[in-house]
Amino acid sequence: MYNPKRMACCLIVLAFLPVMAASAQMTIEIKDYVTMPVTGLADGKGNNEVLLSRVNGLREEPGGANRFFVPDLNGPLYILDKETKKLTTYLDFNGREGHPGLFHKLFLETGYGSGLNGFYFDPDYRRNGKFYTVHIENPALPGSIMPDNANFRGLNLAAYTTTPAIAPPGETQFEGVLIEWTDTNISNATFEGTAREILRVRMNTRLHPLGEMIFNPTARPGDPDWRVMYLECGDGGSGEAMSSIRPNPQRLDNFEGKILRIIPDLNEHTSTSTVSENGRYRIPNDNPFVSKPGARKEIWVYGLRNPHRLNWAIDPNNPANNHLVVNSVGLHTWESVYIVRKGANYGYPLREANELLKPDNTTAPLPAVDRIPVQISDVTDELVVPVYPVIKYGHVPGGGDAIGAGFLYNGKALPALRGKYIFTDITTGHVWYADYKDMLAADDGKPETLSPIHEVKISWNGKVHDTMFPIAEAAYQARGGKAAHLPGRATVSGDGRADARFAIDAAGELYIYSKTDGVIRAVVGATAK
Ligand SMILES: [Ca+2]
Ligand SMILES: [Ca+2]
């Protein structure tokens, strides 16, 4: 029954809801989903090998096949059956001496992103069987630069050739390799088909390599963004170096510290793009720097340190609010989330988040008038205003050391999270959310306006925790891990790294996985009270 008095009362309550919501404590409930095979060592010594399994993502196969593809940085690309939870090794990238996989020069030892780093399905996968990977190679390792199909006979290499590496200025060591794979039968759990090297990027150091890629999930055939890849390339450690490589993230003549935008398929968008220098992909004509002499035409945005997690925030109520969002790992001071705007300069290494980054790698307040010179190989006389983050948190207790993946939650199972962007800190295992509307409001060109973030607690096996750290620690110890707490260390997390990151499935439901204990967990509940 309609009751005007009661309605007025409700409206008054509603007016206060945002304030109440801001102070409500969000708690997510997580449940173990699958335990990944150990590909590391439990002995607590060494670098990357101390992580039990370097699971690095969870991608659901398009089209309702009910399977995840799960890359482990150490080499295996698994298919995970959602019904049976059975894992099958689909491909293995580790072909190092004594290993059965594809790439003799796979680089694994150090660097958090080394190994099989990126995996993504082509938007038209159901029809074309294509997917993409990025892995890291050390050219100095023995063996062939060609894939080795001795144990993957279904891979036809007759037409396979490598590409010249595209290098940044300065000394270089490692290479990120983007490959397009075409499986001619996607109904089984084995690979049979061809592969094509698309791009090879040389990096200054082992840090912050080429990594994650994504496609605009709202683009349909005929749209300008259909099958157009956004590909992040870290700064290769250049921006924090106190040497001639320091400006590389600002220099538009190289790929380091950038998000690239390319068309992997040479037959797509042929009238609105040009073929790349290496002949393996196309570059859209509406990329921001295609007409700037000396600039790499592939660049979409620049001035980032380690933009290692890309996601597309889809606003179900307003498609004009859809944005590519990037989580970028900072140096010593700030972790940042940025809304990606065509051609933007995010400032690094001249800025970190919304502060000045000084040549000694400490931060200071921004200058009164904040402008950065555009740099191709040399500094030009053109100036731009840097673009500031919409979320930042500090390298302080209660904060963290390195931002993980984040997602705007659009699933159905967790109504309390709808419209919220949820993300982790990798090392401390803190989880926060921000309201997407606050993030959009903070994307206003003003450095001082940022979205509030709200701490999320985690319920696991009947107990509520402040972070993922004790959860990963318990599982790591139970699996025989020998480090005192967790492997690795970082400034804020101290002894051990939780290594917690989110993923989503095709329905937009959340998972959280951790390299240290090698466990993927499903987020099965969320309450705000
Ligand atoms: Ca197959
Ligand atoms: Ca702002």
Q: How far is 113 from 108, CA to CA, in rounded Å?
A: 9
Strand partners, 215: 229
The CA-based dihedral angle spanning residues 303, 306, 309, 313, taken in that order and rounded to the nearest 10 degrees: -20
| pLDDT (tens digit per residue) in 407-424 | 999 999 999 999 999 999
CA of 496 to the centre of ligand 1 (A): 39
CA of 182 to the centre of ligand 1 (A): 9
**CA nearest 172: which of 255, 252, 109?**
255
pLDDT of residue 19: 35
Tokens matching residue 438: 């606050």
CA of 206 to the centre of ligand 2 (A): 32
pLDDT of residue 432: 98
From the CA of 155, which ligand is nearest?
1
From the CA of 392, which ligand is nearest?
2
CA of 354 to the centre of ligand 2 (A): 9
pLDDT of residue 482: 87
CA of 340 to the centre of ligand 2 (A): 13
Residue where the block lists tokens 């300008």: 224
Tokens matching residue 66: 């009910």
From the CA of 389, which ligand is nearest?
2
pLDDT of residue 7: 45
The answer to whether residues 402 and 418 touch, using CB atoms and an 8 Å cutoff, is no
Tens digit of pLDDT at every position of the chain (529 positions): 444 444 444 444 343 333 333 559 999 999 999 999 998 877 767 667 777 889 999 999 999 899 999 999 999 999 999 999 999 999 999 999 999 999 999 999 888 889 999 999 999 999 999 999 999 999 999 999 999 999 999 999 999 999 999 999 999 999 999 999 999 999 999 999 999 999 999 999 999 999 999 999 999 999 999 999 999 999 999 999 999 999 999 999 999 999 999 999 999 999 999 999 999 999 999 999 999 999 999 999 999 999 999 999 998 888 888 999 999 999 999 999 999 999 999 999 999 999 999 999 999 999 999 999 999 999 999 999 999 999 999 999 999 999 999 999 999 999 999 999 999 999 999 999 999 999 999 999 999 999 999 999 999 999 999 999 999 999 999 999 888 888 888 999 998 999 999 999 999 999 999 998 999 999 999 999 9
**CA nearest 208: which of 167, 249, 243, 162?**
249
From the CA of 152, which ligand is nearest?
1
The answer to whether residues 519 and 52 touch, using CB atoms and an 8 Å cutoff, is no
pLDDT of residue 111: 81
The answer to whether residues 440 and 448 touch, using CB atoms and an 8 Å cutoff, is no
CA of 164 to the centre of ligand 1 (A): 29
The answer to whether residues 71 and 77 touch, using CB atoms and an 8 Å cutoff, is yes
Q: Which amino acid is at 93?
A: F
CA of 161 to the centre of ligand 2 (A): 46
From the CA of 194, which ligand is nearest?
1
CA of 437 to the centre of ligand 2 (A): 13
The dihedral built from the CA positions of residue 29, 35, 38 and 44, taken in this order, carries a sign that is positive
CA of 70 to the centre of ligand 1 (A): 15
Reported pTM: 0.94
CA of 30 to the centre of ligand 1 (A): 32
CA of 232 to the centre of ligand 2 (A): 23
Neighbouring CB atoms inside 10 A of 209's CB total 32
DSSP 223-284: STTTTPEEEEE--TTGGG-SSTTTTTTTBTTS-TTEEEEEBS-TTSSGGGEEE-TTSSSEEE
pLDDT of residue 16: 39
pLDDT of residue 22: 52
From the CA of 154, which ligand is nearest?
1
CA of 407 to the centre of ligand 2 (A): 20
pLDDT of residue 488: 86
**CA nearest 350: which of 339, 368, 363, 338?**
363
φ, ψ at 244 (rounded to 5°): -65, -15
CA of 391 to the centre of ligand 2 (A): 9
CA of 318 to the centre of ligand 2 (A): 21
**CA nearest 264: which of 462, 130, 448, 354?**
130
Q: How far is 420 from 397, CA to CA, in rounded Å?
A: 24
CA of 270 to the centre of ligand 1 (A): 29
pLDDT of residue 361: 98
CA of 390 to the centre of ligand 2 (A): 6
Neighbouring CB atoms inside 10 A of 22's CB total 11
CA of 148 to the centre of ligand 1 (A): 18
CA of 129 to the centre of ligand 1 (A): 8
pLDDT of residue 21: 39
φ, ψ at 455 (rounded to 5°): -65, 140
Q: How far is 163 from 264, CA to CA, in rounded Å?
A: 14
CA of 490 to the centre of ligand 1 (A): 41
CA of 300 to the centre of ligand 2 (A): 21
